[in-house]
Structure formats: C-alpha cells, structure tokens
Chains A and B, each alone.
Chain A
Amino acid sequence: DAKTTQPPSMDCAEGRAANLPCNHSTISGNEYVYWYRQIHSQGPQYIIHGLKNNETNEMASLIITEDRKSSTLILPHATLRDTAVYYCIAPRSNYKLTFGKGTLLTVNP
C-alpha cells in the first residue's frame, strides 16, 4: 500500500466538525484512498473512499488535494459515538488492506 501518515490522536468538541488529515505522498495514479474507523473492540467500519474528486456520503466527506498527496476526512457534526480510531488506507494490492496506526479521535462533550 502507499504509505500513509496520520496524527496519532485528535480531539473534537461534540457538535463541531472533525477534520482528520492523512498524507499519502507516494500514492500512484490509480490508487484509491479509503477511510475506515474502528470503535473500541468492534470490527472496522467502512466510511468512504475516493480517487480524485471530493466525495460525500451520509457519514462523511472526503477532500482529496489536487496532487492527491493528501486528503482530509470531515465528520460535519461529531457526536460522542464518533469516538474511534480512524484509518486512512491507500491499498496497492487487489485484495489487501494494510492498516496503519490510524488516528484516535476523541469527541468531548
């Protein structure tokens, strides 16, 4: 997988937007960026993915820079239930997700 770099932890106030950055400077032209999250002791949950254009779904928005070397996951109105480890992954292989250490997002009341 393309190497991804994420901050180890971030805090966010409940109700505010959470902006989680990811650097993937070695990403190649046909590699997607995926975001998953894992709430404590649960299985990872798919959030969103994108290639070049910004993407939005019911959970989040994904902003990818024009040079594709970084992206930001945006949770528009964070709740306490969004506290989780967020993983940014740029899989190179057809089948393998390589999870890094991710970002522990803590949403505070």
Chain B
Amino acid sequence: DTEVTQTPKHLVMGMTNKKSLKCEQHMGHRAMYWYKQKAKKPPELMFVYSYEKLSINESVPSRFSPECPNSSLLNLHLHALQPEDSALYLCASSPRAVRDTQYFGPGTRLTVL
C-alpha cells in the first residue's frame, strides 16, 4: 500500500480565516513533506519533517505553520493567507529523508478569497 491521503480535497477560505490541511500515511514512513503547486507550474518544496521533527523550511512565510503530531500525520495550519497563496498543496512521504522515493497524496486545492 503506497497511499497518502489528504483532507480536505478542496478548501475555500477568506484572508482572515484559520484553517488546517491534513495528511496521513500508514506505510511506516519517517519523512513527510509539504509541496505547493501553482497553476501550470511544477511542485515546489515547502517543508520536510524527518522523524517528526522539522528539518527543512524552504523560506516559507510564517502564515504557513506545519505540524507533525505523530509519525503518520502531518498538518499544515493556515492563517492570514493571501489570494496568491491559492494553489494545490501536496503532501508526500518517504521511508527516510535520504533520497528515498517519495509518494504523493492527491493534494488539497486551496482557494483564498
């Protein structure tokens, strides 16, 4: 089973809202990732968690706040977003954060009004 699940599939929020994206995997992977993909562009890495600790932040604005409550779950908390943050947010996992194959979820389509 190489499934990564993400909820919700779609999210519409206002600039003053607080919302969260959720990602889950049950493959025993110890590395989890958030990517952002704008329309007609390739995915770009945002964060990497390794063994439930944040190991990489690719200079992401603080209005995006990741959290890894346990080895199976990854959240992305959103607050005071801008319309330009509208994108497909992708979660991925890999056995370890050492050039292992990454497996992606279906993504959450976020629209900020």
Contact = CB atoms under 8 A, between A and B. Distances in A.
Interface of A: 32, 34, 41-46, 49, 87, 91, 93-102
Contacts of B98: 94-95
A46 B107 contact: no
The SS class assigned to the B binding surface is strand
Given A43-B104, A43-B105, A43-B106, A94 B97 contact: yes
A50 to B, nearest CB: 12
B101 interface: yes
Interface string B81-110: 000000010101000011101111111010
Interface of B: 2, 4, 6, 31, 33, 42-45, 48, 50, 55-56, 88, 90, 92, 97-99, 101-107, 109
Contacts of A93: 99
Nearest to A99: B42
9 closest A-B pairs (Cβ-Cβ)?
A: A99-B42, A43-B104, A95-B97, A44-B104, A94-B98, A43-B106, A43-B107, A95-B48, A99-B43
A22 B44 CA distance: 20
Contacts, number: 54
Contacts of B90: 43-44
Given A49-B101, A95-B31, A95-B56, A42 B42 contact: no
B110 to A, nearest CB: 13
A93 B94 CA distance: 14
Contacts of B103: 46
Nearest to A98: B45
B45 A97 contact: yes
Contacts of A34: 101
Contacts of A46: 2, 101-104
12 contacts: A41-B107, A43-B105, A44-B90, A46-B102, A46-B103, A94-B99, A95-B48, A95-B98, A96-B48, A96-B56, A97-B43, A97-B102
A48 to B, nearest CB: 10
